[in-house]
A and B are shown apart, each in its own frame.
Chain A
């Protein structure tokens, strides 16, 4: 059902875990749907995502998309990260089963959520 790349990202995910000193956090999804994705970021004053991590409750596709999405935004500017679409995430994974595409949408939303929270919460304090 899953390709090798998805299985690899699932069994050995990049950037998994909580980040204590994150200044941007975004959570999307809910437990009753079976997916929750939480993204942590450390964004520098000039808007570069210096570090990123995730915690995900969900299926293998949700964990694999969390892994590649966090890898894709690491080192990018906020503007660049906001341009990442779920399509690119699916391409990066070499495809997902049709019923799992929503996981990639969740990943895109989680990135946006984290950045939007950063922009509203942290920038206004500066």
Chain B
């Protein structure tokens, strides 16, 4: 990735995706969790894809965290991530399992957790 240290990337965002404007069939959102699959990285992987994959080497990141680290718009990372998932190089999961999203207990646990953080 042609990133200047501390500066903006030299590759414009619209080129980083290879001209692809829309994510593929993989449904991703800002807080989708991305994880590297550990599959061997093809030699011809475009630089921006490789840069995203590199960020996942040490663990999982959300789309928005990857965008912040790579200094790319979220829309560009959505495209790159979907492409990596389609190629089997990364895994993506929803921010919260569908069944838990409406778990009435969730908000209570959030409140309890925030209360526990006070006076530390």
Do they bind each other?
Answer: no
